[in-house]
Structure 1
Amino acid sequence: MDSKLADLRKSYERAELDETASQADPLQQFELWLQQALDAQLPEPNAMTVATVGPDGRPSTRVVLIKGCDARGIVWYTNYHSRKGRELAVNPFAALQFHWVELERVVRIEGRVEKTSDAESDAYFASRPLDSRLGAWASPQSEVIHGRAVLVANAAKAGVRFGLNPPRPPHWGGYRLVPDRWEFWQGRKSRLHDRLQYRLQDGQWVRERLAP
């Protein structure tokens, strides 16, 4: 297996990322690339990895779905009692990563994380399918359970309790990452990849090229 993995190779030759052709604002550059990923009909172009750090300094990652982006930041929704929620309560900083394999692109985003407003969380929760809303009540996310039957039973109980209109659980809602650093990676031939970094300095975005 090790030898087979070591022999895997791919030459990245689809596109390039030049300073003169990129946006001065990283959010605009991200929206451009995200739209291109959507237009290309990639599988789950909205999927992103979230990295957090626990109080013991141990990092952890998981994949979630972006649900909004604007000048305020990047938004996703989850259980506040989950491992990531507990870690963000102690260390409110995180890193996000999008990997659009077919386009040979990666976007990395770092920054401070805050909860979205109750109104935002309520509005998004109300837009979810009924099964997903009941699932938010059924799952004690990241906790050890005895089997899938626990989830099924919890969902059934939530259905009986709330019917067709389950409210948003108090332990469920949105997070917003407020970026202070972005990186856009475009695969290039001979491993001489393009990497543009944007970092916030005195309220302005500074764009820099990083060595691959």
Structure 2
Amino acid sequence: MNPFDLFNEWYEEAKASEPSDPNAMAVATATAEGRPSVRMVLFKDHGPDGWVFYTNTLSRKGEELAENDRAALCIHWKSSYKQVRIEGPVEQVTDAEADAYFASRERSKQLAASASLQSQELESRELFEAKVDELDKLYCDSDLPRPPHWTGYRVIPRCIEFWEGTQERMHHRRLFTDEGNGRWSETLLYP
């Protein structure tokens, strides 16, 4: 079995059993000097080309990805006692992909993404809410355009680890490593 079929099998199981956000994942990035940071996001697409999430390029994660274009992901499904770890280089999605996804979002989410200076200091919540209201009025008769600083990132898998827990702590771990040309090698790891 290739890692993408296995991921799809586990993800379908998670969508049926997770109480909320089965597409939640931790994204770890680092500065050019190697100072790491991690946060939760939602993946919006996945497959052999990579796992895609959307964010503000001026956010901390966006700035770190501009300095160091590698990331690590961890998707944990507590209800099924499984997790998947993915590591690899990162690239921005195309403008067409970002535009299409932005257009598919609810208006309230478009407004929040457009008004937010993500990760920057905020003087007051009222200031942010006023910016949301201002944009809502400005575009009351039209669709909001995707802000130029908002896009998607694709983490291209170079290694994918599947972890399945057991109560005895004799966990099952399978590591898939990209060998190039669509070929993946598989290794078992000790718990």
TM-score, normalisation: structure 1: 0.86
Once residues 150 and 111 of structure 1 are traced to their aligned partners in structure 2, the CA distance between those partners, rounded to angstroms, is 38
- The alpha-carbon deviation at position 42 of structure 1 amounts to 3.1
- The alpha-carbon deviation at position 41 of structure 1 amounts to 4.2
- The alpha-carbon deviation at position 202 of structure 1 amounts to 3.9
Percent identity over the alignment?
A: 43
Output the amino acid matched with 1:77. Answer: Y
Higher relative contact order (CA 8 A, sep 6+): 1
- Return the match for 1:149 from 126, 134, 142: 126
* 34-43 vs 192-201, greater mean Cα deviation: 34-43
**Higher gyration radius (CA):** 1
Matching of residue 76 in structure 1 with residue 19 in structure 2: no
Counterparts of 1:1-212 in structure 2, within 5 Å, are: 23=1, 25-163=2-140, 164-203=142-181, 204-212=183-191
Once residues 95 and 75 of structure 2 are traced to their aligned partners in structure 1, the CA distance between those partners, rounded to angstroms, is 27
Once residues 173 and 195 of structure 1 are traced to their aligned partners in structure 2, the CA distance between those partners, rounded to angstroms, is 33
Which runs of structure 1 show a deviation greater than 3 angstroms over 4 or more consecutive aligned residues?
Answer: none
3-state secondary structure, aligned to 2:168? helix
Once residues 135 and 189 of structure 1 are traced to their aligned partners in structure 2, the CA distance between those partners, rounded to angstroms, is 42
TM-score, normalisation: structure 2: 0.95
Once residues 18 and 83 of structure 2 are traced to their aligned partners in structure 1, the CA distance between those partners, rounded to angstroms, is 16
CA-to-aligned-CA distance 1:21-75 (integer Å, 9 cap, x gap): xx2x111111110001012243211100000001231100010001011221111
3-state secondary structure, aligned to 2:148? coil
- The alpha-carbon deviation at position 137 of structure 1 amounts to 1.4
**RMSD across aligned C-alpha pairs, in angstroms?**
1.1
3-state secondary structure, aligned to 1:135? helix
Aligned length: 189
Structure 2 unpaired stretches of 5+:
none
Aligned twin of 1:18: none
- The alpha-carbon deviation at position 201 of structure 1 amounts to 2.0
CA-to-aligned-CA distance 1:156-204 (integer Å, 9 cap, x gap): 1111222241100000011111100000000123211100000112432
